[in-house]
Amino acid sequence: MVGARRPLIEVRRLHRYFGPTKAVYDMSFEVYAGEVFGYIGPNGAGKTTSMRILSTLDEPTYGDAFVDGFSVVDDPDRVRRRLGFMPDYFGTYQNMNVAEYLDFFARAYGLRSYQRRAAIDYAMEFTLLETLADKPINGLSKGMKQRLSLGRTMIHDPAVLILDEPAAGLDPRARIELREMIGRLADHNKTVLVSSHILTELAEMCHRVGIIEQGRLLAVGTVQEISSRTHTRSEVRLRVLSDPAVLINYLQARSDVSSVALRAGQVMLTHDGGPEEQATLLRELIEAGFPVVEFGSKTKSLEDVFMHVTEGRVQ
């Protein structure tokens, strides 16, 4: 996917200190066009601080970050033209409806005449707000406000969007609709960096993830790539046609197997290694004469990887 293309987000040795607290420490990563990058970590890990730096709302203590090739330190005005930032808190203005709110931000970005009208119409169409153009903002639901915030973020057609906890507080339908919108942005070749505590949703929408704790980036890659670099154990279940007690004795004698138990006719166990090692285990069971009729393992989820990589430390 990324090939040899230039990254639209590039973080280089980024540091941000608040007194003795190292909110961001020596962070580096890249995100490419058409990619949704999940940014995950516990509260206080440094996610919002680093996103604020990328959005030119804060400056690094050391290091730099680049958006579409422009430095957030040296060229913040150019960065703002190419970036849309959706904070975790939706700010509203009194006595405004949906269309007026989008019009205000379109004017702030210097859009004029038909260009402004076209941008507003597209933002409302994309976020499914056309029928609510005249509705007062203070009468919108949480989900509709998040849609409007996304419309405001994309009103100037930025190449990069940074979304801080966009699904927080949304009901299931609103989360699904927001996830679909983020996927459509990536299909339109936008670069999207999104933070969330809802890891199952990030796993479904993100091409890659970055795991951060105590200001340090611990791992970057797909869930499979990060999982392959960490030594974890898999839950395996199997069933044989013969007496399972013989199989249990065989498994308990293996050094790569632990926690063997019989549950509802299935043998449950914990196994060292990934898919290749499990394939070897299955082959050796068959070669040993066990009539295996079922064999399955739990695929490592983003939650599993996150819990293994992080230690629950806070600053």
Q: Are residues 73 and 161 in the same domain?
A: yes
pLDDT for the residue 173: 87
Q: Are residues 170 and 76 in the same domain?
A: yes
Domain boundary among 212, 228, 244: 228
Rounded average pLDDT over 109-133: 94
Judge whether 77 lies within some domain.
yes
Judge whether 195 lies within some domain.
yes
Q: Are residues 136 and 221 in the same domain?
A: yes
Give, in degrees to the nearest 5, the angle at Cα 37 between 66 and 33: 60
Helix, strand, coil abundance in the chain, percent, nearest 5: 35, 30, 35
Domain boundary among 228, 249, 279: 228
Q: Are residues 116 and 259 in the same domain?
A: no
pLDDT for the residue 176: 87
Q: Are residues 243 and 196 in the same domain?
A: no
Question: CATH number, domain at 123?
Answer: 3.40.50.300
Judge whether 304 lies within some domain.
no
Continuous H helices in the chain: 47-54, 76-82, 98-108, 113-126, 142-153, 172-187, 199-205, 223-228, 244-252, 275-287, 302-309
Task: Work out the number of other CB atoms within 10 angstroms of the CB of residue 313.
Answer: 11
Judge whether 312 lies within some domain.
no
Domain boundary among 170, 201, 228: 228
Alpha-carbon gap, residue 50 to 64, rounded angstroms: 11
- Please give the model's pTM, rounded to 2 decimal places: 0.75
Judge whether 4 lies within some domain.
no
Q: Are residues 154 and 73 in the same domain?
A: yes
Q: Are residues 145 and 256 in the same domain?
A: no
Per-chain mean pLDDT for the chain: 88
Q: Are residues 276 and 159 in the same domain?
A: no
Checking if the pLDDT of 16 tops 70, the result is yes
pLDDT for the residue 2: 45
Question: CATH number, domain at 257?
Answer: 3.30.70.100
Q: Are residues 82 and 163 in the same domain?
A: yes
Q: Are residues 72 and 207 in the same domain?
A: yes
Q: Residue 285 — pLDDT band, cuts 50, 70, 90? A: very high
Sign of CA dihedral 9, 91, 48, 80: positive
Alpha-carbon gap, residue 282 to 118, rounded angstroms: 60
High-pLDDT (> 70) share of the chain, %: 91
Provide the domain count of the chain.
2
Judge whether 247 lies within some domain.
yes
The 8-class DSSP code of residue 138 comes to G
Q: Are residues 211 and 238 in the same domain?
A: no
Q: Residue 223 — pLDDT band, cuts 50, 70, 90? A: confident
Judge whether 61 lies within some domain.
yes
Q: Are residues 162 and 190 in the same domain?
A: yes
Tens of pLDDT, residue by residue over 229-277, are: 665 667 899 999 999 999 999 999 999 898 899 998 899 998 887 778 8
Domain that holds residue 43: 9-228
Rounded average pLDDT over 203-225: 84
Q: Which of 44-53, 151-160, 210-219 has the lowest mean pLDDT?
A: 210-219
Angle between helix 142-153 and helix 98-108 axes, rounded to 10 deg: 20
Judge whether 122 lies within some domain.
yes
